[in-house]
């Protein structure tokens, strides 16, 4: 019998069967990935459903009564955490491969406890739907993470505009609203989950809600599309002004999750780094214009054919500057991966991280592999080097983990990436996908 407590996994011989909930506090293990550099990637890879679309869409089922069916749901730790939280709230959940069925007809609980929220910050997305559906919610404050403080002040400001009473007590947000009323809400920054939370809070509010300076990410459009399938009246998603006309109720749907643009981008960079030639299938090129533009400037051949992107890398990689911006700018979730590409480019590049205050955790690990990077505040100057060298490295957050795998694909020797539970939060079977493309990569416990 294996049990995991904290970040450690123990094997025990116990006569008494332990129920999973009793002991499996955190399903993280000390697995690591070993990757040997020098193998150009060739072939085809299928993209999974988008984590950052699936999370709000699965949570939107809280607004309905009856069975929802979601297909192309990625098999990720964050999805498991979301479904555990929904079950805790009283939802009936069934998972069959990449299909998830959720019925929220009998929600018996309006509280998202610290023990669940601390494992996944995006749990805060239950706040809006719970207030809309149950007129109350008690959700643990998500706290910060490796990449930044991650405040939720704009989520709370918007809920207050809609008429919710908000109190912060003992590390929890306590929200109540006998009935929500539409209002005009200006978001000081185009927060992605803030926009999603407020869209879900407003769909059954009395009257119209207008979100100004709303986030424009494809995941916002995907959520609005699903909410409209459920019977909501949302217009303007994908622009910075979203209008929501409140309706009486929403009904369950059967719908498919959009492809993951960040997983797509990660494989595009991998092809460019390894002088490979890969076809990325079942993706949505239209969601990646910011990255495609920059990648072409590095000298990679990027060709688009419907929902297939082909990327051919060349041995000379041009240095290119990037600034991360809200969509449709260059995505912050691709900054670490692009920095790894620049670390073996021919020249100097400037990388400015405009979204999060501490998203350079991968720099120290890349430098251990021989990268030449100097950080000054939210900017990093990268001097390309001819080669990286393999080393044991430590993942710190989801996208930093991916950047270390990419570095290992080109570093001389065998790189050992530790703490890959970060990776498992957002990439489905990434080592299998890389191995099918010719990488020398394996996971070891």
Q: Least distance from C-beta 270 to ligand EPZ, angstroms?
A: 17
Residue 323: both structure tokens together: 């600034």
Q: Is residue 77 close enough to count as binding ligand EPZ by CB under 6 A?
A: no
- Which of these, 215, 261, 206, 260, lies nearest to 236 by C-alpha position? 215
HEC per residue, 71-114: ECCCCCHHHHHHHHHHHHCCCEEEEECCEEEEECCCCCCCEECH
What string marks each residue from 261 to 300 as x (binds ligand EPZ by CB under 6 A) or -?
----------------------------------------
Q: Is residue 82 close enough to count as binding ligand EPZ by CB under 6 A?
A: no
Is 376 catalytic? The answer is: no
39 or 155: CB nearest ligand EPZ: 155
Three-class SS state of 142: coil
Residue 406: both structure tokens together: 């990419």
Residue with tokens 């109190």: 167
What string marks each residue from 332 to 361 as x (binds ligand EPZ by CB under 6 A) or -?
xx---------------------xx-----
CA distances from 334 to 310, 329, 351, 392 (A): 18, 11, 11, 23
130 or 391: CB nearest ligand EPZ: 130
108 or 377: CB nearest ligand EPZ: 377
Number of amino acids touching ligand EPZ (CB under 6 A): 24
212 or 233: CB nearest ligand EPZ: 212
Choose which of 194, 218, 265, 276 interacts with ligand EPZ (CB under 6 A): 194
Point out which span in 95-103, 147-155, 268-276, 436-444 binds ligand EPZ (CB under 6 A). Answer: 147-155
Q: Is residue 158 close enough to count as binding ligand EPZ by CB under 6 A?
A: no
What string marks each residue from 114 to 143 as x (binds ligand EPZ by CB under 6 A) or -?
--------x---------------------
Which are the contacts of 45, defined by CB distance < 8 A and separation ≥ 6? 267, 278, 279, 280, 281, 433, 436, 437
193 or 209: CB nearest ligand EPZ: 193
The secondary structure element, H or E, covering residue 416 is strand 414-418
- Which of these, 79, 140, 148, 67, lies nearest to 425 by C-alpha position? 79
37 or 426: CB nearest ligand EPZ: 426
Q: Least distance from C-beta 363 to ligand EPZ, angstroms?
A: 17
Q: Provide the angle, in degrees to the nearest 10, between the axes of the packed helices 127-134 and 153-161.
A: 20
Point out which span in 65-73, 192-200, 300-308, 429-437 binds ligand EPZ (CB under 6 A). Answer: 192-200
Q: Which residues from 161-190 bind ligand EPZ, rule CB under 6 A?
A: 189
**C-beta separation of 63 from 250 below 8 A:** yes
In 229-274, DSSP assigns E strands to 233-235, 241-245, 254-256
Q: What residues make contact with ligand EPZ under the rule CB under 6 A?
A: 51-52, 55, 122, 148, 150-155, 189, 191-194, 215, 332-333, 355-356, 398-399, 426
The catalytic residue positions are 145
């Amino acid at each position: 019998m294996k049990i995991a407590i904290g970040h450690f996994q123990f094997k025990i011989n116990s006569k008494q069967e332990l129920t999973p909930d009793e002991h499996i506090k955190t399903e993280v293990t000390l697995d690591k990935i070993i990757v040997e550099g020098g193998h150009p990637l060739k072939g085809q890879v299928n993209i999974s459903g988008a984590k950052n679309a699936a999370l709000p869409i699965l949570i939107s089922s809280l607004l309905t009564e009856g069975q929802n069916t979601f297909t192309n749901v990625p098999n990720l730790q964050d999805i498991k955490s979301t479904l555990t939280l929904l079950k805790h709230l009283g939802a009936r959940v069934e998972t069959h491969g990449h299909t998830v069925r959720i019925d929220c007809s009998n929600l018996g609980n309006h509280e998202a406890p610290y023990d669940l929220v601390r494992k996944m910050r995006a749990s805060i997305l239950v706040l809006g739907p719970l207030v809309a559906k149950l007129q109350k919610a008690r959700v643990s404050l998500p706290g910060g993470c490796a990449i930044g403080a991650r405040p939720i002040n704009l989520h709370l400001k918007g809920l207050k505009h809609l008429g919710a009473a908000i109190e912060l007590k003992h590390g929890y947000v306590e929200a109540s609203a006998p009935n929500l009323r539409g209002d005009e809400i200006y978001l000081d920054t185009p927060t992605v989950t803030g926009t999603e939370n407020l869209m879900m809070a407003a769909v059954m509010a009395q009257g119209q809600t207008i979100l100004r300076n709303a986030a424009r990410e494809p995941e916002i459009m995907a959520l609005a599309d699903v909410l409209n399938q459920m019977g909501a009246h949302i217009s303007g998603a994908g622009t910075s002004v979203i209008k929501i006309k409140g309706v009486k109720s929403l009904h369950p749907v059967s719908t498919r999750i959009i492809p993951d643009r960040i997983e797509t981008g990660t494989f595009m960079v991998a092809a460019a780094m390894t002088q490979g030639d890969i076809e990325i299938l079942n993706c949505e090129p239209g969601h990646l214009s910011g990255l495609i533009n920059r990648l072409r400037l590095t000298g990679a051949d990027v060709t688009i054919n419907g929902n297939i992107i082909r990327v051919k890398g060349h041995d000379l990689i041009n240095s290119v500057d990037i600034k991360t911006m809200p969509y449709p700018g260059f995505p912050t979730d691709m900054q670490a991966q692009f920095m790894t590409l620049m670390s073996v480019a021919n020249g100097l590049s400037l990388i400015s991280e405009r979204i999060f205050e501490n998203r350079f955790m991968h720099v120290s690990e890349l430098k251990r592999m021989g990268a030449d990077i100097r950080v000054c505040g939210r900017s990093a100057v990268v001097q390309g080097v001819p080669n990286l060298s393999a080393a044991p490295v430590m993942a710190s957050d989801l996208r930093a983990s991916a950047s270390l795998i990419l570095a290992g694909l080109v570093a001389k020797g065998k790189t050992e990436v530790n703490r890959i539970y970060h990776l498992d939060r957002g990439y489905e079977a990434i080592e299998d996908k890389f191995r099918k493309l010719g990488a020398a990569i394996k996971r070891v416990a």
